[in-house]
């Protein structure tokens, strides 16, 4: 992989090395001041971006994609703007599907996705730009069953139960399959209102990647969009969060930070080993322990074997171009990534995102070292 910016080849290599260290450490749409996205017919570049004589940065960056990391990205970009007022980053939480589309079209400076690029998407990029796209992990997170059942605070869902809910086989909260894992809990005789993502979603990819592996009766496959056999749709993690909050008897899948920030109850899930595990950043980080990361960082773990791991978690990636026409834009993007994964670590932890395990970071470091050698040769 040839990691370089046209304006400053070594600068980008340094930033990628920082990503390796930062990943080890860090576990509605609101944006900083915005500017128009580049024209769709042009390669990603902004006009009027400069570096001041004092070394401060001045650039406008636009990005779009996953809602999974949106609370963290928006916090990072806002806080970075406090330190570097000349750098304005606008991030639109439009879902991974739309983010990849905008990245491929060249209408943003970076994309974001919770699903690694598919071979077809990579081929489209290669045909458009004559080079390989770059996807780098920024953080990870758990995907949780967020539910609204007043009086039920510690719900446990066995594999049979949560598979039955998403397949439409279990339709009432007091179903014997759910009750069996919740002795002493009074479950209401109330219909289950399953809420799924209606837009192209990396969170849906992470979720269905697990369901497809864990649920023998699941027929819809996996991906950013699937044909759900039951339920109602909502756009974005934000949309599912709102619908679950507003409707008793609802349950849906969202990134852990959304449930945490909105004080929504989440279920403990039975993992592959038969243990019921609460969705915490620590339990989700065990998903990646001992796993090997491929050269393109596209690590997915559909059904972790670790006996203490929460069963549904995934990485989330930034999508970058191998060349940027504007050196100031390239430098600002590198600085944002650098700051986010080092000084921005506190915000990742506060919001409940997952610090990656040492074994995963070791593999990321090896991959980045190989890419650095290629870029430096």
CATH number for the domain spanning 255: value is 3.40.190.10
Q: Which residues of 167-177 are buried (b: 16+ CB within 10 A; e: fewer)?
A: bebbeebebeb
pTM as predicted:
0.83
Residues 281 and 180 placed together within one structural domain of the fold: yes
Boundary (domain end) residue, out of 288, 303, 337: 288
Q: What angle do CA 30, 321, 198 make, to 5 degrees?
A: 45
Provide the CA 140 distance to its chain's centre, in angstroms: 6
The answer to whether residue 250 sits within a structural domain is yes
The answer to whether residue 2 sits within a structural domain is no
From the list 300, 284, 124, 296, the residue with the least C-alpha distance to 205 is: 300
The answer to whether residue 305 sits within a structural domain is no
The answer to whether residue 293 sits within a structural domain is no
For 212, the enclosing helix (H) or strand (E) is helix 202-214
Residues 323 and 268 placed together within one structural domain of the fold: no
pLDDT at residue 8 in the model: 34
Residues 29 and 98 placed together within one structural domain of the fold: yes
Boundary (domain end) residue, out of 251, 273, 288: 288
Q: Is the CA virtual torsion 5, 297, 65, 100 positive or negative? A: positive
Provide the CA 80 distance to its chain's centre, in angstroms: 20
86 to 24, 77, 141, 282, 325: CA distances (angstroms): 29, 12, 30, 36, 19
The answer to whether residue 303 sits within a structural domain is no
The answer to whether residue 348 sits within a structural domain is yes
Residues 116 and 164 placed together within one structural domain of the fold: no
Residues 280 and 339 placed together within one structural domain of the fold: no
The answer to whether residue 306 sits within a structural domain is no
Residues 103 and 199 placed together within one structural domain of the fold: no
The answer for residues whose C-beta is within 8 angstroms of residue 223's C-beta and 6 or more apart is 115, 204, 205, 208
Tens of each residue's pLDDT in the chain, 377 residues? 333 433 332 332 233 222 222 333 333 333 333 223 223 333 443 333 434 333 589 999 999 999 999 999 999 999 999 999 999 999 999 999 999 999 999 999 999 999 999 999 999 999 999 988 888 898 999 999 999 999 999 999 999 999 999 999 999 999 999 999 999 999 999 999 999 999 999 999 999 999 999 999 999 999 999 999 999 999 999 999 999 999 999 999 999 999 999 999 999 999 999 999 999 999 998 998 888 878 788 999 999 999 999 999 999 998 988 888 998 988 888 788 878 877 888 898 899 997 655 555 455 445 433 432 333 33
Boundary (domain end) residue, out of 288, 304, 337: 288
Residues 136 and 165 placed together within one structural domain of the fold: no
> Which 3 state secondary structure label does DSSP give 89?
strand
The answer to whether residue 91 sits within a structural domain is yes
The answer for residues whose C-beta is within 8 angstroms of residue 11's C-beta and 6 or more apart is 5, 330, 331, 334
Q: How many domains does the structure of the chain reveal?
A: 2
Find the radius of gyration of the CA atoms of the chain. 21
Residues 208 and 344 placed together within one structural domain of the fold: no
From the list 362, 349, 366, the residue with the least C-alpha distance to 291 is: 362
Residues 164 and 230 placed together within one structural domain of the fold: yes
| Residue 365 near residue 89, CB atoms below 8 Å | no
Residues 243 and 352 placed together within one structural domain of the fold: no
From the list 151, 240, 136, the residue with the least C-alpha distance to 195 is: 240
Q: Which domain holds residue 349?
A: 9-141+312-376
Rounded Cα–Cα distance for residues 292 and 299 (Å)? 7
Helices 202-214 and 159-167 meet at what angle, rounded to 10?
A: 120
Residues 154 and 275 placed together within one structural domain of the fold: yes
Residues 317 and 279 placed together within one structural domain of the fold: no
């Amino acid at each position: 992989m040839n990691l370089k910016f046209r304006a400053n080849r070594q600068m980008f290599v340094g930033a990628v090395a920082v990503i390796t260290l930062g990943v080890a450490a860090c576990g509605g749409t609101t944006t900083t001041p915005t500017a128009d996205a580049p024209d769709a017919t042009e390669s990603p570049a902004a006009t009027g971006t400069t570096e001041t004589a004092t070394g401060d940065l001045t650039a406008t960056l636009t990005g779009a994609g996953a809602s999974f990391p949106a609370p963290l990205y928006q916090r990072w970009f806002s806080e970075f703007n406090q330190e570097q007022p000349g750098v304005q980053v606008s991030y639109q939480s439009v879902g991974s599907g739309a983010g990849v589309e905008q990245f491929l079209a060249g209408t943003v400076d970076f994309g974001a996705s919770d699903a690694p690029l598919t071979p077809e998407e990579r081929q489209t990029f290669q045909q458009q730009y004559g080079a390989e796209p770059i996807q780098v992990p920024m953080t990870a997170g758990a995907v949780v069953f967020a539910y609204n059942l007043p009086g039920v605070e510690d719900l446990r869902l066995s594999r049979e139960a949560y598979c039955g809910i998403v397949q439409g086989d279990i339709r009432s909260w007091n179903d014997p399959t759910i009750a069996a894992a919740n002795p002493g809990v009074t479950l209401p005789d109330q219909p289950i209102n399953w809420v799924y993502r209606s837009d192209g979603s990396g969170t849906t990819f992470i979720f269905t990647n697990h369901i497809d592996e864990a649920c023998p009766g699941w027929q819809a496959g996996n991906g950013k969009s699937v044909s759900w056999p039951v339920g109602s749709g909502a756009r974005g993690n934000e949309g599912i969060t709102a619908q679950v909050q507003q409707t008793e008897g609802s349950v849906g899948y969202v990134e852990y930070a959304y449930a945490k920030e909105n004080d929504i109850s989440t279920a403990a899930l039975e993992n592959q080993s038969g243990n019921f595990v609460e969705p915490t950043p620590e339990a989700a980080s065990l998903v990646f322990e001992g796993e090997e990361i491929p050269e393109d960082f596209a690590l997915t773990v559909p059904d972790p074997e670790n006996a203490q791991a929460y069963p549904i978690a995934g990485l989330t990636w930034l999508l970058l171009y191998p060349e940027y026409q504007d050196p100031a834009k390239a430098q600002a993007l590198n600085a944002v990534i650098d700051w986010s994964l080092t000084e921005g670590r506190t915000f990742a932890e506060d919001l409940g995102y997952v610090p990656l395990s040492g074994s995963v970071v070791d593999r990321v470091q090896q991959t980045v070292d190989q890419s650095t050698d290629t870029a430096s040769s």
